[in-house]
Amino acid sequence: MAEGKPEPFDRLVVVGLGLIGSSIARAARRYGLAREIVAVDGDAAVRARVQDLGIADHVTGDAAEGAAGGDLVVLCVPVGAIGPVALAMLPHLKPGAIVSDVGSVKASIVAAIRPHLPEGVALVPGHPVAGTEYSGPDAGFSTLFSGRWCILTPPEGTEEAAIERVRALWEGMGAIVETMSPEHHDLVLAITSHVPHLIAYNIVGTAADLETVTQSEVIKFSAGGFRDFTRIASSDPTMWRDIFLNNRDAVLEMLGRFNEDLAALAKAVRWGDGEALHAMFTRTRAIRRSIVALGQETAAPDFGRPRTAEDGTGPAAKP
C-alpha cells in the first residue's frame, strides 16, 4: 500500500443501503478502502436498485450470508433496528471481525449489542455527523463525509487495533474522526441535533395546524426561518422516532434546559428588555460564525442555495 493509505478491508459489509449506507459503499469503492463490498438490505426494491447502480460486489437480503466472512460490518439501519439486526448477524461473524454502525444514539446500541458479541469480535460504534434530507440508495454520494465529523464511541476495553481500523475507514472517506464515550456522545447530540429536530417538527406541525386559519399564507410566505425548519423536519420519520425513543433521557434533559432559556427569552420580549434580546442574538450569531469557521457550514449568501439565470444574479442551476 502507498504510504499513508490504510490497508483495505477484504470484505466490507454494509447493512441498509439508504443515504448513509450507499454513500459508504460509494466512498469505499472510490477510495479503495475495501476489496469487496457486500450490500445487505431487507427491501427487495432497494436490493434491485443497488444492483442497477453497481455500488456493491454482492447484494443479499440474508443476514447470515451477508455476515459470513465479513471483516467490518457497518449497520446503517434505523436506531431501533440496529440491535435486532446485529443479533441476527453476530453468530455468523468470524473471529477478528468488527461491528460498527452509523446511528445517532450510542449508549442504547452498546447495551443492545455488547453482551452478545462472540469471542474475538469487536464493537466500535460510529456516528457520521453528515447527511441530507434525502433517503434511499440513489441519494448517496461518495463525498458525503468529506470534511465532516465522525464520532467513534468504542466501549471501554475495546482493542485499540479495532478502533484504528474503523478510524482509518472514516478518514479514508474524508471524515474528521473524534472519539468519546457513548454517554457523552448522546448528551452532545441531544442538544446539537436531536432537540433542534424536535423543535423543527413541532414548529412545522404548529404551522400546519394554522394553515386553514391563515388561508394557506403560512406555506405561501414560507421564505426565511420557516422554510429552513421545513428542511430539517422533512427527515426520515422512522429514523427520528427511533432516535428520540432511544435517547430519551438526554433529550429530556436538554429540553428542560431549553425550556428554561425559552422562558427567559419570552420574559425579555414581554417586558421589552431590548438589552437582553440584543445580548442573546449577539451571542448566537457568534456561534453561527464559529460553525462556519470550522468548515461545517458555508458562509455563502442564502446558506449556499444556488441562484438561477432566471434570478438574474448567477448562472443557471444544473438540473
Domain boundaries, the chain: 9-179, 184-297
Statement: residue 218 has pLDDT above 50: yes
Distance from the Cα of residue 118 to its chain's centroid? 27
∠ CA 61-128-189 to the nearest 5 degrees? Answer: 115
Distances (CA, A) of 92 to 25, 64, 73, 87, 257: 21, 6, 11, 10, 44
Q: CATH classification of 184-297, choosing from 3.30.1130.10, 2.70.240.10, 3.90.1150.10, 1.10.3660.10?
A: 1.10.3660.10
Beta-carbon contacts of residue 215 (< 8 Å; ≥ 6 apart): none
Position 296 confidence tier, pLDDT thresholds 50, 70, 90:
low
pLDDT tier for residue 315 given thresholds of 50, 70 and 90:
very low
21-35, 185-199, 229-243, 267-281: least confidently modelled range: 229-243
Work out the average pLDDT over 66-71: 94
Give the whole-number percent of the chain exceeding pLDDT 70.
Answer: 85
**pLDDT band at 143; cut points 50, 70, 90:** very high
As a whole number, mean pLDDT of residues 235-259 equals: 88
- pTM (2 d.p.): 0.80
Distance of CA 236 to the CA centre of its chain: 11
Residue 43 has a pLDDT of 95
Q: For 9-179, CATH number?
A: 3.40.50.720
* Res 280: pLDDT: 87
Decide which of 41 and 292 is more confident.
41
DSSP code, position 63:
H
The whole-number pLDDT of residue 317 equals: 33
Q: Mean pLDDT of all residues in the chain?
A: 86
Residues ≥6 apart with Cβ < 8 Å to 27: 33, 142, 143, 144, 145, 172, 173, 174
Q: Is the pLDDT assigned to residue 313 strictly greater than 50?
A: no
Q: How many CB atoms lie within 10 A of CB 239?
A: 21
Predicted confidence (pLDDT) at residue 319 exceeds the cutoff of 50: no
What pLDDT does 94 receive? 96
Q: Greater confidence, 219 or 300?
A: 219
**E strands within the chain?**
9-15, 34-40, 58-60, 72-75, 98-101, 122-123, 126-128, 149-152, 176-179
In which band, very low, low, confident or very high, does the pLDDT at 307 lie, cut at 50, 70 and 90?
Answer: very low
Nearest to 98 by CA among 138, 28, 152, 39: 152
Q: What percent of the chain has pLDDT over 90?
A: 63
pLDDT band at residue 292 using 50, 70 and 90 as cut-offs: low
| Residue 312 in this model has a pLDDT that exceeds 80 | no
Placement of cell 461545517 in the chain: 296
pLDDT of residue 211: 65
